[in-house]
Amino acid sequence: MNEQLKQSKKVLVVDDEPVVCRVIQETLKRNGFDVITETKSLKTPSCIQAIYPDLVIMDIKMPKLDGLTLCKTIKNSQRNSCVPVLIMTALQDTIYETKAYNAGASSFIQKPFDLNNLINKVKTLVDK
């Protein structure tokens, strides 16, 4: 029964790099998740409204609307404030992890990341 619940979990991946979206999508799909990707951060709020994901994974550094601002937007939305957000970044300064949590992120992962670590974080976040 628990496996069936995991299979129905929707994960939205937001990154301006299509290759990153594709790698995460393929990895999570192999682990039973329904994965939607978005490469344009400005479209993310409407995408969240349309699909109401169980988890949002997003990059910090994106054009037009960065991940930290987007995370704050999600967390300030009455409807979406309970949706967990996993922030990822290739930025090497440790201050970004603090900024991610201050923006309301539920978890943080540094790029490049180990795919098993990503899967474990995702499973933990959607099972909360």
Do strands 55-59 and 34-38 pair parallel, antiparallel, or not at all (unpaired)? unpaired
Cα separation, 85 vs 20, in Å, equals 17
Domain boundaries, the chain: 2-118
Average pLDDT value for residue range 47-73: 95
Cα separation, 54 vs 48, in Å, equals 10
CB 40 within 8 A of CB 21: no
pLDDT for 128 equals 76
**Can you list the alpha helix ranges (DSSP code H) found in 31-66?**
44-51
- Per the prediction, the chain carries an average pLDDT of 92
pLDDT tens digits for range 1-40:
444 444 479 999 999 999 999 999 999 999 999 999 999 9
Query: What pTM did the predictor assign?
Result: 0.91
Residue type present at position 17: E
Topology of the domain covering 2-118? Rossmann fold (3.40.50)
Average pLDDT value for residue range 89-118: 95
pLDDT for 8 equals 76
Cα separation, 77 vs 27, in Å, equals 29
CB 51 within 8 A of CB 8: no
